């Protein structure tokens, strides 16, 4: 999903390659380990197919860590 140009066309970070996607997954796992929060997968109820994610995660804004609500 993160490598799909159509899905990521409005993302501030743009299309992700495999390395960037791995870093994102590592970041998600670290968020849960250190903060107890992070992105949740959205799956279509009938098919079970992954269709996106949303969640709360830490983000640096200047020198301050804030919580960001994001979705894709």
Give dist(CA 31, CA 52) in Å, integer: 18
Give dist(CA 22, CA 60) in Å, integer: 20
What pLDDT, on the 0 to 100 scale, is given for residue 9? 87
Give dist(CA 4, CA 67) in Å, integer: 26
What pLDDT, on the 0 to 100 scale, is given for residue 72? 57
Task: Say what the pTM is.
Answer: 0.72
Give dist(CA 54, CA 64) in Å, integer: 22
- pLDDT for 16-62, tens place per residue? 999 999 998 998 899 999 989 888 888 999 999 998 888 888 888 88
* The pair of three-digit structure tokens given for residue 14, joined into one six-digit string: 């743009």
Residue 9 or 71, more confident:
9
Backbone φ and ψ for 58, nearest 5 degrees, come out as -70, 145
């Amino acid at each position: 999903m993160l490598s799909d140009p159509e899905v990521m066309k409005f993302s501030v970070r743009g299309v992700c390659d495999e390395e960037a996607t791995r870093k994102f997954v590592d970041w998600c796992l670290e968020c849960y380990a250190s903060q107890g929060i992070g992105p949740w997968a959205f799956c279509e109820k009938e098919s079970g197919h992954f269709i996106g994610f949303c969640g709360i995660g830490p983000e640096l804004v200047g020198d301050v860590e804030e919580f960001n609500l994001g979705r894709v």
